[in-house]
Amino acid sequence: MERNLARGKLDGGVSVSSEEEGEPRAQTLTVEVGGTEKGGFVKERTGSSRRILFRRVVRRLAKLNFAIGEIAFLALLSALGTAVEQNKAPEYYTSQLIDGHPLLSDILGNLVLLFGFDHMYSSPVYLGMCALLTASLMACSYQTQWPMVKVAQRWRFIEDPDRVMKLSSSGLRAYAVRASRPGGKGKGSTMRKVSSVLGDRGYETFVKPKEDGTGEVLYAFKGLSGKFAPIGVHISMVLVVLGASISTTCGWHGTLMIDEGEEMPVKEAFRPNSFLASATNEPWKSRESGKDVYLKLNKFKIDYYPDGKVEQFYSDLSVTEDAPPSPYASLLGSYKRPTEETFQKLISVNNPLRFGALTAYQTDWAVSGVRVEVTAGEASEPSRVFVPMVSLEGKLGEVGGRIWGGVLPVQGDDGEDDDGEGGGDGVTNFTIVARDLQNVGVYGPDGKFLGIRRPGSGRKLGVGGITLKVIELSSSSGLELKSDPGVPVVYTGFAFLMLTTVLSYVSHSQVWAHLAWESEGEDGRRAREGDLVIGGTTNRAKREFQNEVDQVVKDIQAKMMMSRRTSR
Amino acid sequence: MTGGRRPCGGAGAGSSGRGACTTTATVARVGHARRTAATGHTGEGLVGGRSFDDGGWLRCATRSPGPLAPLGGGWRVRALPEAQEVYQLSQTSALVSLTTFEQVLSKFGFGSLFATTSLYWGKAALGKLKGHGTLEKSTMASANAALLLLLCLRWIDAGHFPLSNMYESLLFLSWGISSVHFYLAYRIPQSGIAGTLTSPTALGVLAFATLILPPELQKATALVPALKSNWLFMHVSVMMMSYATLLVGSLMSFGYLLIDTFNNSKMDLSKLDLNLDLGKVATEPAFPAEAEKVEVELVAEGGEGPDSPSQGKKDLLDTCDDLAYRSIGLGFAFLTIGIISGAVWANEAWGSYWSWDPKETWALITWLFYAVYLHGRIYKDWTPKKTAAVSASGFVIVWICYVGVNLFGVGLHSYGFFSK
Annotate A117-136 with DSSP letters as a single string.
Answer: GGGGGGSHHHHHHHHHHHHH
Nearest residue, CB atoms, A82 vs list B69, B361, B375: B361
Give per-10-residue mean pLDDT for chain B (420 aa): 32 31 28 30 28 32 31 36 44 51 89 93 81 88 94 85 82 95 89 90 93 78 77 90 96 92 64 48 38 41 43 78 94 97 88 86 95 91 91 94 72 32
For the stretch A198-223, pLDDT in tens is: 999 999 999 988 888 788 899 999 99
Q: Is A127 on the interface with B (CB under 8 A)?
A: yes
Which residues, numbered 150 to 189 in chain B, qualify as contacts with chain A under a Cβ-Cβ cut-off of 8 Å? 187-189
Contact A402 B187 (CB under 8 A): no
Annotate A190-205 with three-state secondary structure. HHHHHHHHHHHCCCEE
Read off φ and ψ for residue A85, nearest 5 degrees. Answer: -55, 135
pLDDT value at position A567?
59
Query: Which three-class secondary structure state does DSSP give residue B337?
Result: helix
Q: State whether A257 and A357 are in the same domain.
A: yes
Q: How far apart are CA B351 and CA A247, in angstroms?
A: 11
CA angle B304, B308, B310 (to 5 degrees): 85
pLDDT value at position A135?
94
Residues 6+ apart with CB under 8 A from B191: B131, B273, B275, B276, B316, B319, B323
Q: A396 contacts in B (CB within 8 Å)?
A: 27-28
pLDDT value at position B24?
26
Q: State whether A490 and A454 are in the same domain.
A: no
Nearest residue, CB atoms, B369 vs list A75, A179, A308: A75
Q: How far apart are CA B311 and CA B279, in angstroms?
A: 11
Residue A219 pairs in a beta bridge with: A206, A512
Q: State whether A170 and A259 are in the same domain.
A: no
Domain boundary among A496, A530, A547: A496
Contact B32 A482 (CB under 8 A): no
Note whether B420 and B399 are within 8 A (CB). no
By residue count, chain B amounts to 420
DSSP H helices in A21-143: 25-45, 49-62, 64-83, 90-96, 102-115, 124-140
DSSP string, A370-396: EEEEEE-STTSPPEEEEEE-EE-TTSS
Q: Is B287 on the interface with A (CB under 8 A)?
A: yes
Residue of A nearest to B362 (CA): A79
To the nearest whole Å, the CA of B287 is away from the closest chain A CA by: 7
H-helix or E-strand spanning residue A317: strand A310-322
pLDDT value at position A565?
64
Q: State whether A136 and A167 are in the same domain.
A: no
pLDDT value at position A104?
82
Q: Is A459 on the interface with B (CB under 8 A)?
A: no
pLDDT value at position B303?
32
Q: State whether A360 and A486 are in the same domain.
A: yes
Q: How far apart are CA B184 and CA B238, in angstroms?
A: 18
Q: How far apart are CA A149 and CA A6, in angstroms?
A: 12
Q: How far apart are CA A433 and CA A367, in angstroms?
A: 10
Q: B2 contacts in A (CB within 8 Å)?
A: 305-306
Q: How far apart are CA A68 and CA A66, in angstroms?
A: 5
pLDDT value at position B297?
45
pLDDT value at position A329?
58
Q: Has residue A37 been placed in a domain?
A: no
What is the CATH number for A184?
A: 3.30.310
Residues 6+ apart with CB under 8 A from B284: none
Note whether A273 and A483 are within 8 A (CB). no
Nearest to B183 by CA among B333, B286, B306, B316: B333
Nearest residue, CB atoms, B411 vs list A82, A478, A542: A82
Global pTM exceeds 0.90:
no
The burial of A495, by beta-carbon neighbours within 10 Å (0-12 exposed, 13-18 middle, 19 or more buried), is given as middle
| DSSP-derived secondary structure letter, B72 | T
Contact B299 A180 (CB under 8 A): no
Nearest to A553 by CA among B279, B277, B130, B315: B279
pLDDT value at position B375?
93
Q: Has residue A4 been placed in a domain?
A: no
Q: What are the percentages of helix, strand and coil residues in chain A, rounded to 5?
A: 40, 30, 30
Q: Count CA atoms within 13 Å of residue B384 on its CB side.
A: 19
Q: How far apart are CA A110 and CA A118, in angstroms?
A: 10
Q: Is A146 on the interface with B (CB under 8 A)?
A: no
Strands of the sheet containing A509-520, edge to edge, are A204-209, A215-222, A509-520, A526-538, A173-179, B294-298
Q: How far apart are CA B26 and CA A443, in angstroms?
A: 9
Please give the C-alpha separations between residue A313 and each of A57, B55, B413, in angstroms, as whole numbers. 54, 12, 22
DSSP string, B269-301: GGGSBGGG-TTHHHHS-SSGGGTTTEEEEE---
Q: Has residue A537 been placed in a domain?
A: yes
Q: Is B390 on the interface with A (CB under 8 A)?
A: no
pLDDT value at position B238?
95
Q: State whether A430 and A461 are in the same domain.
A: yes
Note whether B320 and B193 are within 8 A (CB). yes
A399: left (phi over 0), alpha (psi -120 to 50) or beta: beta
pLDDT value at position B418?
34
Q: Where do the domains of chain B lie?
A: 100-278+308-407
pLDDT value at position B265?
54
Q: State whether A332 and A205 are in the same domain.
A: no
Which residues, numbered 270 to 309 in chain A, qualify as contacts with chain B under a Cβ-Cβ cut-off of 8 Å? 271, 273-274, 304-309
Q: How far apart are CA B202 and CA B179, in angstroms?
A: 10
pLDDT value at position B233?
87
Helices A224-250 + A146-153 axis angle, to 10:
150
H-helix or E-strand spanning residue A153: helix A146-153
Counting the structural domains of chain A, the total is 4
Contact B74 A123 (CB under 8 A): no
Q: How far apart are CA B85 and CA B223, in angstroms?
A: 10
Which amino acid type is present at position A184? G
Which amino acid type is present at position A477? S
A196: left (phi over 0), alpha (psi -120 to 50) or beta: alpha
Nearest to A450 by CA among A472, A433, A435: A433
Domain that holds residue A52: 47-149
pLDDT value at position A425?
61
pLDDT in single tens digits along all 568 residues of chain A: 333 333 333 333 333 333 333 333 333 223 233 333 333 344 444 557 888 888 888 888 888 899 999 999 999 999 998 888 888 888 888 887 777 777 888 888 888 898 988 888 989 999 999 999 999 999 988 888 888 877 766 667 888 877 777 776 555 666 666 554 444 445 567 888 889 999 999 999 999 888 887 888 999 999 988 888 999 999 999 999 999 999 988 889 899 999 988 888 888 888 888 888 877 778 888 888 888 888 999 999 888 888 777 888 999 999 988 877 666 656 655 556 667 788 899 998 888 998 888 899 988 888 989 999 988 877 778 888 899 998 888 777 777 778 899 998 887 765 444 444 444 567 888 889 998 888 888 988 887 888 888 888 888 887 877 888 889 888 899 998 988 889 999 999 999 999 999 999 999 888 888 888 776 666 655 566 777 888 888 888 888 888 888 888 888 877 877 776 665 5
Query: Which three-class secondary structure state does DSSP give residue B315?
Result: helix
Q: Is A561 on the interface with B (CB under 8 A)?
A: yes
Q: Has residue A522 been placed in a domain?
A: yes
Note whether A357 and A485 are within 8 A (CB). yes
Note whether A116 and B72 are within 8 A (CB). no
Which amino acid type is present at position A72? A
| DSSP-derived secondary structure letter, B173 | H
Q: State whether A382 and A351 are in the same domain.
A: no
Q: Has residue A31 been placed in a domain?
A: no
Note whether A371 and A386 are within 8 A (CB). yes
H-helix or E-strand spanning residue A312: strand A310-322
Nearest residue, CB atoms, A544 vs list B35, B188, B225: B188
Q: State whether A292 and A395 are in the same domain.
A: no
For the stretch A377-394, pLDDT in tens is: 777 788 888 999 988 887
Q: How far apart are CA A209 and CA B142, in angstroms?
A: 54
Q: Has residue A41 been placed in a domain?
A: no
Q: Has residue A526 been placed in a domain?
A: yes
Q: Is B291 on the interface with A (CB under 8 A)?
A: no
Note whether B355 and B418 are within 8 A (CB). no
Residue A468 pairs in a beta bridge with: A374, A461
pLDDT value at position B117?
93
pLDDT value at position B231?
86
